[in-house]
Amino acid sequence: MFAKLVAKRRNEIIHNHVVCNLKKQEMEIKHIISTVILLISISSFGQKWNTVEFINKYKYQEVIGNIDDIDEKCKPDKYARYPNGKKGIYSFISQNTVIPKKATKEKISGTVILKYVVDEKGYATDIEVVQSVSKSLDKASIKVMKKMERWIPGKADGKNLRVEYRQPFTYRL
């Protein structure tokens, strides 16, 4: 914003040098506003992943898999956690699963079962098909698993560890 103060005195135009002062003040105000905005952004987006505040804010809950399959020695102290637990997983799957046109056209139904591991960093990895229905439905199920949000990894003896899960995808046409 530029401002000029112009005054007339006895038919003379006098230009005042307030323009420079306003420009300097304007720059200082812009700097202050930018700093405030930056601080607000850092505090709101700067929440660290895997802190108590983060876990509580996004409602991460333990997801306990099929306990019968787990050897007592390998059983974690804490299972991996996902936003809203099992409900969150099912909600995510239902919102992100797209039935391929080929499966719809051929009226293919059934349950695809995927095995995957939540690794030490909280990512769903090592995704593989345990029970197949068709290549198109297998592929659609894997695609959804790869989009999954980051988990809080399982723990044993205070260390992050890999936890294996199985996830069914049921398709009915």
pLDDT digits (tens, 9 = 90+) for 132-141: 999 999 999 9
* Percent of the chain whose pLDDT exceeds 70: 66
User: pTM for this one?
Assistant: 0.67
pLDDT at 81: 94
**Rounded mean pLDDT, 3-31:** 51
What tokens were used for 161?
A: 């560890």
- Please determine, looking at this structure, whether the domain spanning 52-171 carries the CATH number 3.30.2420.10: yes
The separation between CA 169 and the C-alpha centre of its own chain, rounded to angstroms, equals 22
pLDDT at 173: 82
Sort strands 110-118 and 159-161 into parallel, antiparallel or unpaired.
unpaired
- The domain locations on the chain are 6-45, 52-171
